[in-house]
Structure 1
Amino acid sequence: MTNVEDLPLNSFHKRLTVYSAGGPFLDGYVLSIIGVALVQAGPQLNMSASWEGLIGASALIGVFFGGFLGGWLTDKFGRQTLYTLDLIAIILCSVAQFWVQDVFWLFVLRLLIGIAVGADYPIATSLLAEFTPKKYRGPLIGALIVMWFVGAAVAYVVGELLLHLGPDGWRWMLASGALPAVVFVILRHGTPESPRWLANKGRVDEARAVVRRVFGDNASLESLSADEHGERIDTKVLFRSGYGKRMVFISIFWTCSIIPLFAIYAFAPKILDALGLTGPMANIGSAVITILFLVGSLVFVLLINRMGRRKVILHSFLWSGVALLGLGLFPQSPALVILMLFAAYAVFIGGAQILQWVYPNELFPTEIRGSAVGLASSLSRIGAAAGTYLVPWSLVELGIGMTMMIAAGITLLGFLVSWRMAPETKGLSLDEAAAL
């Protein structure tokens, strides 16, 4: 009999990775498409700079509520049921955006979309972590963030095309998020429940049945049923003992890695315009930089097992922070230099991005894994939403140079915190990593 965590990678693992990538893809898509849509929607809905910032941050605010709610629900009721319900909510709200007539209702709909996206993070990543062999867990969970950048890149391309449909192009942009959501709902249908979660709830026979159906009769459930005999752990443990320290680390590094990134994505055309890239070049530049974010994430997915989690996060924060510092110190540089510095940031920050879901899924036990991912996601979005909201104000009042300097400071803070607190979990089973 072979332990589930020592099994070779099979077609089920690969399919589950693709299905679980739906949430990150939609997050990247809906967050990025708003940056292009605001070019038309802003004047039509008479948005002030404050409302533009609030609309840009609305999905992030929603993720704050959805992350912890989804984590709590998936730990309590299981991963399978919620795996498609959250995407159905995204479909309905995306379509509703087409008919919105004022800025308030646009904010409400994007807030609801953010709640659904945030709920998907702990649901999908917990399910994937609990099915995946330890040898492949880091690369496969890390690969989910790649789909965030794929979604963002597709959004910029689609947005640029739909801008030419006329004054209602922005409506089609915002409604277009429903199409990929429908595809992922269809793909996710029939996904089994996590055997780890079933065993933890005392439903060992059901867990064994899932393992046999997915992996065959030679797969062992022993490691999965271990939690069933241990101490019952509730969400309060997230704030106690060693778990509290882990939650602090994950929340801070996650926040520091996404504040600059989300702010740039929400307002990339405006930021590039402020740096001297105007008109269509700003949107094209946004798409190119997004592709480089994708490249950086893929590079670190390939390196995460070779370098280890700790080295990946330290190098990622350090060199991406240096790149942002260069943009802050030399904002009037030639366009080629600006693009090269943005490219360096995009590639190097990929390491911190892929670890956003790897670390919390490895450092917490089955009973609270979903809640941990959800809470860390929620807490990180407080800073990300505030940063996104303040970008238009910062560009006007402080200028592009100081805006980039602030982004660099936040990124380098992530390096310092990770240097002090980041553990190494490479090669450990989920039980071993949670017991560090």
Structure 2
Amino acid sequence: MNYKTTLDASPLTPFHLRLVLLVFSAHMIDGYALGVIGYVIDYYETQQNISPVVQGLLGSSALPGLFLGSMILGRMADKYGRNTLFIVSFVIIFIASLLQFFFYSIPGIILLRFILGVGIGGDYAVGLTLLAEFLPKKQRGVLLGLFSPVWTVGYVIAIASARYFVTTPDPGTVRLLLAFPAGPALLILLFRLGIPESPVWLLSRERISDARKVLAQYFPRTEIVLSEGNIRHTHPSSGLFSAQIWRSTLFASLFFICIVLPYFAIYTFLPFFLEKMPVLTFMQRGISMEVFLLFGALFGLWLTRQFPRRQFTLVSFGVLGLCLITLVVADSALVISLSFALFTLLISAISNLTGVYLPECFPTALRSSGVGFATAMSRIGAALGTFLLPIIVEGYGMEVCLLLLSAVLLIGLAATWYWALRGNAHSLE
């Protein structure tokens, strides 16, 4: 057996589950950070009557940081290794979260959330890559698909916490809401110490003996035979746009952009969105929305196992686009409510694939850079969406905003049709 086949076929161990927990903890913090900011914006709008531009800056402040973190730390992980950056990213997350307790003015929040985004973006690129390179193929789809449920749990925690905050609005509560991730981040950081380097990355750097040591220590009951002929070298700065890889790079980027742009645009400003669409009375307090998001994330795990990636993605983008168009053209309150409920359910379900699809699009030498680049591109889209949504709604109306978001989803459908990988589970080098 060669290296890929043996590691892909290895049994699931407690080490795998520990790594899953430590990787997706960052996504829970990200979900919390993006969920809570909508209610912080609502507080400042009530207390200081901030403009739509300032609302957009607050809502999108973490996303440029996610862009830089994904790009820079992702490339560093391909060059210097996964495990060092796995620690560095959470040091950044911890420090930025803690400082939000002390610097909670609007400029301070914007700056610190930008820094927080750098850490989260880097952890997206490095963590998903490290996890994907350790997991056996049989369980990879489901475990990487936990991205969306875990992110959604963080988001729901933010909404639940903010619901108390809405009833007792004061600066002290704002500080606690913003700085809350510092506690979990410190605990996670301590548990990450000692995580080994990816043997797949070590093999790609011709560090054969180091790769064998890692495999012997963490897979003592499984003999892993390394095939040194599988070593490949590709320079990250050029390889993502080489003749062999550019289609995967383009698809991964558009796929991620077309999911997160409407997701972040709508749910970052959920109180604002519901205010502009009072027909959605069943979601006015956010309770039903939380249920649909959580159920959608869990439903997405089942869909990931049952259907090929490409088929799941094509159907999801098509239905999501139609849901938003229905919100514009429908007259019935029931139809509008059901359409938004289906949209919430399905966009949470397809978000599972962001953790599964991206690592499968790239070879080892480019995997962290590729995931990082796609994540970075998605954060540009998300930043534009969250910054422009309140401005577009105020200037042109909710209908125009929804039609633009539906166009984004249909672009995702077209990108999937032309460039998506085919098949269901892929071996990682």
* TM-score normalised according to structure 1 size: 0.91
Determine whether 1:191 maps to 2:195: yes
Stretch deviating more after TM superposition (115-124 or 358-367): 358-367
- Cα gap change, 1:181 to 1:340, in 2 (>3 Å): farther
Match of 1:83 in 2: 86
Q: 1:57, 1:389 within 8 Å by CA — same for their partners in 2?
A: yes
- Cα gap change, 1:183 to 1:342, in 2 (>3 Å): farther
Determine whether 1:142 maps to 2:158: no
Match of 2:296 in 1: 296
Letter in 1 for 2:352: I
Distance 2:36 2:225 in 1: 44
Deviation at 1:42, TM superposition (A): 3.4
Determine whether 1:201 maps to 2:199: no
Distance 2:290 2:407 in 1: 22
Name the SS for the 1:239 alignment partner: coil
Stretch deviating more after TM superposition (287-296 or 316-325): 287-296
Distance 2:327 2:170 in 1: 34
Distance 1:232 1:408 in 2: 37
CA deviations on 1:237-288 (whole Å, 9 max, x unpaired) are: 1011121111111111211111110011210111011111699963x32x53
Match of 1:239 in 2: 241
Q: 1:313, 1:351 within 8 Å by CA — same for their partners in 2?
A: no
Deviation at 1:352, TM superposition (A): 3.3
Determine whether 1:396 maps to 2:400: no
- Cα gap change, 1:301 to 1:403, in 2 (>3 Å): same
Deviation at 1:426, TM superposition (A): 1.9
Distance 1:94 1:29 in 2: 11
Determine whether 1:215 maps to 2:215: no
Stretch deviating more after TM superposition (50-59 or 301-310): 301-310
Name the SS for the 1:85 alignment partner: helix
Match of 2:316 in 1: 316
Deviation at 1:101, TM superposition (A): 5.2
Distance 2:36 2:229 in 1: 45
Q: 2:283, 2:289 within 8 Å by CA — same for their partners in 1?
A: no
Count residues in correspondence.
425
Q: 2:56, 2:386 within 8 Å by CA — same for their partners in 1?
A: yes
Distance 1:261 1:207 in 2: 39
Distance 1:12 1:378 in 2: 29
Distance 1:25 1:3 in 2: 31
Q: Unpaired segments of 5 or more residues in structure 2?
A: none
Deviation at 1:159, TM superposition (A): 1.1
Correspondence list, 1:86-105, <5 A: 86-100=89-103, 102-105=105-108
Q: 1:300, 1:312 within 8 Å by CA — same for their partners in 2?
A: no
CA deviations on 1:197-235 (whole Å, 9 max, x unpaired) are: 112222211211111111114331425x4443x344433
Name the SS for the 1:430 alignment partner: coil
Match of 2:166 in 1: 163
Distance 1:238 1:166 in 2: 48
Determine whether 1:107 maps to 2:107: no
- Cα gap change, 1:209 to 1:407, in 2 (>3 Å): same
Determine whether 1:405 maps to 2:403: yes
RMSD between aligned residues: 2.2
Distance 2:338 2:374 in 1: 32
Distance 1:351 1:424 in 2: 19
CA deviations on 1:142-179 (whole Å, 9 max, x unpaired) are: 21222111111111001112333441222221111212
Name the SS for the 1:7 alignment partner: coil
- Cα gap change, 1:307 to 1:148, in 2 (>3 Å): same
Distance 1:278 1:174 in 2: 28
Deviation at 1:376, TM superposition (A): 0.7
Percent of pairs identical after alignment? 34
Distance 1:147 1:29 in 2: 10
Correspondence list, 1:4-403, <5 A: 4-44=7-47, 47-100=50-103, 102-168=105-171, 169-222=173-226, 225-228=228-231, 230-276=232-278, 282=284, 284-285=285-286, 287-330=287-330, 333-334=332-333, 337-403=335-401
Q: Unpaired segments of 5 or more residues in structure 1?
A: 432-436
Stretch deviating more after TM superposition (155-164 or 214-223): 214-223
Letter in 1 for 2:26: G
Distance 2:62 2:248 in 1: 26
Letter in 2 for 1:145: S
Distance 1:148 1:349 in 2: 13
CA deviations on 1:49-77 (whole Å, 9 max, x unpaired) are: 10110110111111111111121111112
Q: 2:78, 2:236 within 8 Å by CA — same for their partners in 1?
A: no
Distance 2:290 2:72 in 1: 29
* TM-score normalised according to structure 2 size: 0.93
Name the SS for the 1:401 alignment partner: helix
Distance 2:354 2:394 in 1: 31
Stretch deviating more after TM superposition (199-208 or 92-101): 92-101
Deviation at 1:136, TM superposition (A): 1.5
Stretch deviating more after TM superposition (86-95 or 287-296): 287-296
Name the SS for the 2:377 alignment partner: helix
Q: 1:47, 1:103 within 8 Å by CA — same for their partners in 2?
A: no
Name the SS for the 1:380 alignment partner: helix
Letter in 2 for 1:40: Y
Distance 1:102 1:137 in 2: 42
Distance 1:120 1:128 in 2: 11
Letter in 1 for 2:363: P
Q: 1:62, 1:111 within 8 Å by CA — same for their partners in 2?
A: yes
CA deviations on 1:318-349 (whole Å, 9 max, x unpaired) are: 1122111111223x653x54442222012222
Distance 1:188 1:101 in 2: 29
Name the SS for the 1:219 alignment partner: coil
Deviation at 1:82, TM superposition (A): 1.8
